[in-house]
């Protein structure tokens, strides 16, 4: 028989009274048990315990209290004669047990895959130490595995830190940071494994911005060189035009 999680099973209370000689503890323990997904076999029990001794209990299958000693029998008869309490116990089979069991089952079967992004910090440069960031957002359940791949091989030693956060709305996020020296043409990716994914999700770090920066620098240098050549050519042509037909000055050695 499958039992609900501890937070759903124990919905009772405990009272403690202390005298000069003895300590008295009274407990009310409510339990919900089931084995079928449709909850048709749900059993609701309420146990009244005094100093670790079971006095009486309510069982939804019997729809009444049963006492186990003289005091427990008297209490059971008293409760069974209270129509409002019997009605309340029957309603609690639905409002306490089945309602919470549905939430429990839903939480067990609910799977939300993570949204993954990978990017570098603003100071990323080829040939320099750089920190890459892999972010996995809004996934459920919380079990997740995040690893880094360098040219297809798993990286472990250079992982700076990994942060796990609870969003507070039954979803989670994880952040992993990798510190390494970037090399052009060597792919870096983040692999995420989660029950909400049919297969591991591999997200490649997009080096476009870094490559674009290099291309812009190369284009800028090219235009500078072209401009320099044009300027020198123009200066040479201007010089030729100004000195056309004039004899070149002779250097006379004294």
Cα separation, 12 vs 16, in Å, equals: 14
**Domain definitions of the chain by residue range:** 2-109, 115-206, 210-242
- What pLDDT score was predicted for residue 170? 83
When pLDDT is averaged across residues 196-203 and rounded to a whole number, the result is 95
When pLDDT is averaged across residues 250-254 and rounded to a whole number, the result is 51
When pLDDT is averaged across residues 149-176 and rounded to a whole number, the result is 88
Residue 15 in this model has a pLDDT that exceeds 80: no
Range with lowest mean pLDDT among 119-123, 155-159, 246-250 = 246-250
Cα separation, 227 vs 224, in Å, equals: 5
For 203-216, how does the pLDDT look when each residue is reduced to its tens digit (9 = 90+)? 999 877 664 555 54
Structural tokens at position 64: 């009444």
Relative to beta strand 23-34, strand 13-18 is antiparallel
When pLDDT is averaged across residues 218-245 and rounded to a whole number, the result is 60
Could you say which of 3.10.20.30, 3.10.320.10, 3.30.1520.10, 3.60.150.10 is the CATH number of the domain covering 2-109?
3.10.320.10
Structural tokens at position 13: 């209370």
- What is the chain written as a DSSP string? -EE--HHHH---EEEEEE-SS-EEEEEEEEEEEE-STT-TT-EEEEEEEETTEEEEEEETTTTEEEESSHHHHHHHHHHHT-HHHHHHHHHHIIIIIIHHHHHHHHHHH--BPPEEEEEE-TT--TTSEEEEEEEEEEEBSS-EEEEEEETTEEE-TTEEEEEEEE-SSS-EEEEEEEEEE--TT--EEEEEEETTSSS-EEEE---HHHHHHHHHHHHHHHHHHHHHHHHHHHHHHHHHHHTTTPPPPP----
When pLDDT is averaged across residues 120-139 and rounded to a whole number, the result is 86
- What pLDDT score was predicted for residue 17? 60
Domain 115-206: homologous superfamily in CATH = Immunoglobulins (2.60.40.10)
- What pLDDT score was predicted for residue 246? 57
User: Percentage of the chain surpassing pLDDT 70?
Assistant: 73
In angstroms, how far is CA 69 from the centroid of its own chain?
52
When pLDDT is averaged across residues 104-119 and rounded to a whole number, the result is 88
Question: What kind and span of H or E run contains 80?
Answer: helix 70-80
Whole-number average pLDDT of the chain: 81
On whether the CB atoms of residues 73 and 67 are closer than 8 A, the answer is yes
Question: Which position has the higher pLDDT, 6 or 37?
Answer: 37
Cα separation, 42 vs 33, in Å, equals: 6
Range with lowest mean pLDDT among 36-45, 99-108, 141-150 = 99-108
């Amino acid at each position: 028989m499958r039992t609900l999680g501890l937070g759903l099973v124990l919905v009772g209370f405990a009272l403690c009274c202390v005298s000069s000689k003895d300590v008295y503890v009274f407990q009310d323990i409510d339990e919900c048990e089931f084995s079928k997904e449709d909850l048709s076999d749900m059993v609701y029990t309420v146990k009244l315990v005094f100093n670790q001794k079971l006095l009486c209990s309510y069982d939804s299958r019997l729809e009444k209290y049963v006492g186990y000693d003289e005091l427990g029998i008297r209490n059971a008869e008293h409760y069974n004669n209270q129509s409002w309490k019997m009605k309340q116990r029957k309603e609690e089979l639905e409002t306490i047990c089945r309602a919470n069991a549905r939430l429990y089952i839903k939480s067990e079967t609910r799977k939300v895959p993570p949204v993954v992004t990978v990017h570098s910090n603003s100071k990323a440069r080829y040939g320099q130490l750089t920190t890459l960031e892999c972010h996995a957002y809004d996934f459920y359940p919380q079990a997740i595995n995040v690893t880094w791949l360098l040219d297809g091989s798993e990286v472990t030693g250079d992982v700076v830190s990994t942060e796990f956060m609870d969003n507070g709305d039954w979803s989670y996020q994880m952040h992993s940071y990798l510190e390494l020296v970037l090399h052009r043409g060597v792919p870096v990716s983040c692999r995420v494994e989660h029950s909400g994914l049919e297969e591991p999700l591999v997200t490649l770090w997009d080096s476009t911005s870094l490559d674009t920066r290099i291309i812009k620098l190369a284009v800028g240098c090219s235009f500078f060189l072209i401009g320099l050549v044009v300027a020198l050519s123009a200066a040479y042509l201007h010089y030729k035009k100004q000195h056309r037909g004039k004899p070149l000055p002779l250097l006379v050695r004294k």
